[in-house]
Amino acid sequence: GAVVSQHPSRVICKSGTSVKIECRSLDFQATTMFWYRQFPKKSLMLMATSNEGSKATYEQGVEKDKFLINHASLTLSTLTVTSAHPEDSSFYICSARKRAYEQYFGPGTRLTVT
Amino acid sequence: GQQVMQIPQYQHVQEGEDFTTYCNSSTTLSNIQWYKQRPGGHPVFLIQLVKSGEVKKQKRLTFQFGEAKKNSSLHITATQTTDVGTYFCAGSQGGSEKLVFGKGTKLTVNP
Protein backbone atom coordinates (compact mmCIF):
# COMPACT_ATOMS: atom_id res chain seq x y z
CA GLY A 1 0.00 0.00 0.00
CA ALA A 2 0.86 3.65 -0.02
CA VAL A 3 -0.79 5.56 2.78
CA VAL A 4 -0.25 9.22 3.45
CA SER A 5 -1.73 10.92 6.46
CA GLN A 6 -2.21 14.57 7.28
CA HIS A 7 -2.79 16.21 10.60
CA PRO A 8 -4.90 18.04 11.50
CA SER A 9 -7.77 17.37 9.12
CA ARG A 10 -9.42 20.64 10.04
CA VAL A 11 -8.16 23.69 11.85
CA ILE A 12 -9.66 27.04 12.66
CA CYS A 13 -7.31 29.76 13.76
CA LYS A 14 -7.38 33.47 14.40
CA SER A 15 -5.85 35.96 12.05
CA GLY A 16 -2.19 36.57 12.84
CA THR A 17 -1.49 33.16 14.34
CA SER A 18 0.57 30.37 12.81
CA VAL A 19 -0.61 26.89 11.93
CA LYS A 20 1.47 23.77 11.35
CA ILE A 21 0.25 20.96 9.12
CA GLU A 22 1.96 17.58 9.12
CA CYS A 23 2.21 15.18 6.23
CA ARG A 24 3.37 11.63 6.88
CA SER A 25 4.01 8.68 4.62
CA LEU A 26 2.96 5.75 6.80
CA ASP A 27 4.23 2.70 4.94
CA PHE A 28 6.94 3.99 2.67
CA GLN A 29 9.78 6.45 2.68
CA ALA A 30 9.47 9.59 0.65
CA THR A 31 12.46 11.71 -0.18
CA THR A 32 10.13 14.06 -2.00
CA MET A 33 6.79 15.40 -0.90
CA PHE A 34 4.64 18.01 -2.54
CA TRP A 35 2.33 20.61 -1.05
CA TYR A 36 -0.77 21.70 -2.95
CA ARG A 37 -3.50 24.18 -2.31
CA GLN A 38 -7.05 23.67 -3.54
CA PHE A 39 -9.65 26.42 -3.58
CA PRO A 40 -13.34 25.46 -3.48
CA LYS A 41 -14.42 23.77 -6.70
CA LYS A 42 -11.02 24.43 -8.19
CA SER A 43 -8.05 22.38 -9.19
CA LEU A 44 -4.94 21.68 -7.20
CA MET A 45 -2.13 24.20 -7.40
CA LEU A 46 1.37 23.11 -6.55
CA MET A 47 2.85 25.33 -3.87
CA ALA A 48 6.22 23.74 -3.27
CA THR A 49 8.32 20.63 -3.53
CA SER A 50 9.71 19.40 -0.25
CA ASN A 51 12.98 17.47 -0.33
CA GLU A 52 14.26 15.54 2.66
CA GLY A 53 17.29 17.20 4.15
CA SER A 54 17.30 20.24 1.92
CA LYS A 55 15.39 23.42 1.30
CA ALA A 56 12.01 23.30 -0.33
CA THR A 57 11.53 24.55 -3.86
CA TYR A 58 8.68 27.01 -4.10
CA GLU A 59 6.53 27.71 -7.13
CA GLN A 60 6.36 31.18 -8.55
CA GLY A 61 4.13 33.44 -6.53
CA VAL A 62 4.30 31.39 -3.33
CA GLU A 63 5.88 33.26 -0.42
CA LYS A 64 8.49 31.04 1.18
CA ASP A 65 8.55 33.13 4.35
CA LYS A 66 4.83 32.74 4.76
CA PHE A 67 4.60 29.04 3.96
CA LEU A 68 7.48 27.40 5.79
CA ILE A 69 8.24 23.86 4.76
CA ASN A 70 10.42 21.43 6.66
CA HIS A 71 11.13 17.90 5.50
CA ALA A 72 13.05 16.61 8.48
CA SER A 73 12.77 12.89 7.85
CA LEU A 74 11.93 10.43 5.11
CA THR A 75 8.38 10.13 6.38
CA LEU A 76 7.48 13.60 7.55
CA SER A 77 7.08 17.00 5.95
CA THR A 78 5.49 19.98 7.66
CA LEU A 79 3.90 23.12 6.27
CA THR A 80 3.60 26.10 8.60
CA VAL A 81 1.34 28.92 7.56
CA THR A 82 2.75 31.92 9.40
CA SER A 83 0.75 34.98 10.39
CA ALA A 84 -2.33 33.52 8.79
CA HIS A 85 -4.92 35.76 7.19
CA PRO A 86 -8.45 34.98 6.02
CA GLU A 87 -7.24 34.74 2.41
CA ASP A 88 -5.05 31.82 3.47
CA SER A 89 -8.19 29.82 4.21
CA SER A 90 -8.09 26.87 1.88
CA PHE A 91 -7.74 23.12 1.53
CA TYR A 92 -4.08 22.13 1.77
CA ILE A 93 -3.10 18.73 0.43
CA CYS A 94 0.24 17.01 0.50
CA SER A 95 1.46 14.16 -1.61
CA ALA A 96 4.40 11.83 -1.17
CA ARG A 97 6.46 10.36 -3.94
CA LYS A 98 6.74 6.61 -3.56
CA ARG A 99 8.59 5.95 -6.79
CA ALA A 100 9.25 7.79 -9.99
CA TYR A 101 6.20 9.65 -11.18
CA GLU A 102 3.95 8.11 -8.57
CA GLN A 103 2.47 10.39 -5.95
CA TYR A 104 0.06 9.45 -3.21
CA PHE A 105 -2.08 12.14 -1.68
CA GLY A 106 -2.94 12.78 1.92
CA PRO A 107 -6.55 13.41 2.96
CA GLY A 108 -6.02 17.16 3.13
CA THR A 109 -6.29 19.82 5.81
CA ARG A 110 -9.03 22.40 5.72
CA LEU A 111 -7.76 25.65 7.16
CA THR A 112 -10.15 28.40 8.17
CA VAL A 113 -8.71 31.70 9.33
CA THR A 114 -11.13 33.95 11.17
CA GLY B 1 4.43 27.97 -18.52
CA GLN B 2 2.88 24.60 -18.96
CA GLN B 3 -0.90 24.56 -19.00
CA VAL B 4 -3.29 21.67 -18.92
CA MET B 5 -6.81 22.26 -20.14
CA GLN B 6 -9.59 19.86 -19.27
CA ILE B 7 -13.12 19.68 -20.64
CA PRO B 8 -15.93 19.56 -19.90
CA GLN B 9 -15.99 21.24 -16.52
CA TYR B 10 -19.22 19.49 -15.57
CA GLN B 11 -21.02 16.44 -16.90
CA HIS B 12 -24.39 15.10 -15.81
CA VAL B 13 -25.36 11.66 -17.06
CA GLN B 14 -28.02 9.07 -16.44
CA GLU B 15 -26.81 5.89 -14.89
CA GLY B 16 -25.79 3.55 -17.67
CA GLU B 17 -24.67 6.28 -20.05
CA ASP B 18 -21.07 6.70 -21.08
CA PHE B 19 -18.83 9.56 -19.99
CA THR B 20 -15.65 11.05 -21.42
CA THR B 21 -13.34 13.77 -20.17
CA TYR B 22 -10.57 15.25 -22.27
CA CYS B 23 -7.26 16.75 -21.37
CA ASN B 24 -5.06 18.92 -23.57
CA SER B 25 -1.59 20.22 -22.79
CA SER B 26 0.12 23.25 -24.28
CA THR B 27 3.39 21.32 -24.28
CA THR B 28 4.50 17.76 -24.86
CA LEU B 29 4.22 15.71 -21.70
CA SER B 30 6.53 13.04 -20.41
CA ASN B 31 3.61 11.36 -18.72
CA ILE B 32 0.02 12.00 -17.74
CA GLN B 33 -1.78 10.82 -14.66
CA TRP B 34 -5.45 10.62 -13.82
CA TYR B 35 -6.96 11.11 -10.38
CA LYS B 36 -10.45 10.83 -8.93
CA GLN B 37 -11.62 13.01 -6.08
CA ARG B 38 -14.86 12.17 -4.35
CA PRO B 39 -16.85 15.00 -2.76
CA GLY B 40 -15.12 15.96 0.46
CA GLY B 41 -12.21 13.64 -0.26
CA HIS B 42 -8.71 13.84 -1.62
CA PRO B 43 -7.38 12.92 -5.06
CA VAL B 44 -6.83 9.22 -5.55
CA PHE B 45 -4.37 8.03 -8.14
CA LEU B 46 -6.02 6.05 -10.93
CA ILE B 47 -3.38 5.51 -13.59
CA GLN B 48 -0.30 6.80 -15.32
CA LEU B 49 0.29 6.85 -19.07
CA VAL B 50 3.79 7.21 -20.43
CA LYS B 51 3.97 5.97 -24.00
CA SER B 52 2.75 7.75 -27.10
CA GLY B 53 -0.60 6.32 -28.19
CA GLU B 54 -0.91 4.24 -25.03
CA VAL B 55 -4.30 2.83 -24.10
CA LYS B 56 -4.99 1.30 -20.70
CA LYS B 57 -8.15 -0.18 -19.27
CA GLN B 58 -9.39 -0.59 -15.75
CA LYS B 59 -12.71 -2.41 -15.83
CA ARG B 60 -15.13 0.18 -17.25
CA LEU B 61 -12.50 2.92 -17.48
CA THR B 62 -10.39 3.43 -20.61
CA PHE B 63 -7.47 5.84 -20.63
CA GLN B 64 -5.74 7.07 -23.75
CA PHE B 65 -2.58 9.08 -24.33
CA GLY B 66 -2.32 10.85 -27.66
CA GLU B 67 0.30 10.12 -30.27
CA ALA B 68 1.85 13.54 -29.77
CA LYS B 69 1.74 13.12 -25.97
CA LYS B 70 -0.17 16.37 -25.64
CA ASN B 71 -3.67 15.07 -25.03
CA SER B 72 -5.38 12.36 -23.10
CA SER B 73 -8.86 11.09 -22.40
CA LEU B 74 -10.70 9.09 -19.80
CA HIS B 75 -13.80 7.20 -20.91
CA ILE B 76 -16.19 5.47 -18.55
CA THR B 77 -18.57 2.93 -20.03
CA ALA B 78 -22.02 2.47 -18.52
CA THR B 79 -21.61 4.85 -15.59
CA GLN B 80 -22.71 3.89 -12.12
CA THR B 81 -23.58 6.08 -9.15
CA THR B 82 -20.26 5.10 -7.60
CA ASP B 83 -18.48 6.91 -10.41
CA VAL B 84 -19.51 10.35 -9.12
CA GLY B 85 -16.67 12.69 -8.32
CA THR B 86 -14.23 15.01 -9.99
CA TYR B 87 -11.74 13.52 -12.39
CA PHE B 88 -8.45 15.35 -12.79
CA CYS B 89 -5.71 14.84 -15.29
CA ALA B 90 -2.22 15.93 -14.34
CA GLY B 91 0.84 16.07 -16.52
CA SER B 92 4.52 16.46 -16.04
CA GLN B 93 7.09 17.72 -18.48
CA GLY B 94 10.62 16.62 -19.22
CA GLY B 95 12.33 15.01 -16.28
CA SER B 96 10.35 16.99 -13.74
CA GLU B 97 7.98 15.22 -11.37
CA LYS B 98 6.01 18.38 -10.76
CA LEU B 99 2.42 17.80 -11.74
CA VAL B 100 0.30 20.42 -13.43
CA PHE B 101 -3.34 19.64 -12.87
CA GLY B 102 -6.23 20.24 -15.18
CA LYS B 103 -9.24 21.96 -13.66
CA GLY B 104 -11.12 18.71 -13.44
CA THR B 105 -14.41 17.38 -14.71
CA LYS B 106 -17.13 16.97 -12.15
CA LEU B 107 -19.30 13.97 -12.94
CA THR B 108 -22.75 13.49 -11.50
CA VAL B 109 -24.75 10.36 -12.21
CA ASN B 110 -28.51 10.30 -11.89
CA PRO B 111 -29.83 6.93 -10.78
Secondary structure (DSSP) of A43-111: -EEEEEEEETTS--EEPTT--TTTEEEEEEETTEEEEEE-S--GGG-EEEEEEEEEETTEEEE---EEE
Report the pLDDT value the prediction gives residue A1, as an integer from 0 to 100.
67
CB A38 within 8 A of CB A93: yes
Is it the case that residue A41 has pLDDT exceeding 90? no
A46 close to B (CB below 8 A): yes
Q: How far apart are CA A7 and CA B86, in angstroms?
A: 24
Is it the case that residue A63 has pLDDT exceeding 90? yes
Whether residues B48 and A103 touch (CB distance < 8 A) is answered with no
CB A96 within 8 A of CB A25: yes
Q: How far apart are CA B35 and CA B45, in angstroms?
A: 5
Report the pLDDT value the prediction gives residue A98, as an integer from 0 to 100.
85
A44 close to B (CB below 8 A): yes
**Tens digit of pLDDT at every position of chain B (111 positions):** 678 999 999 999 999 999 999 999 999 999 999 999 998 888 888 999 999 999 999 999 999 999 999 999 999 999 999 999 999 999 988 777 888 999 999 999 999
Percent of chain A scoring above 90 in pLDDT: 77
**B residues 35..74 contacting A (CB < 8 A):** 35, 41-45, 48, 50
Between residues A98 and A7, the one the model is more confident about: A7
B79 close to A (CB below 8 A): no
For the segment A44-68, the average pLDDT, to the nearest whole number, is 92
A97 close to B (CB below 8 A): yes
Report the pLDDT value the prediction gives residue A83, as an integer from 0 to 100.
96
Percent of chain A scoring above 70 in pLDDT: 99
Query: Any idea what DSSP says for residue A15?
Result: T
CB A28 within 8 A of CB A97: no
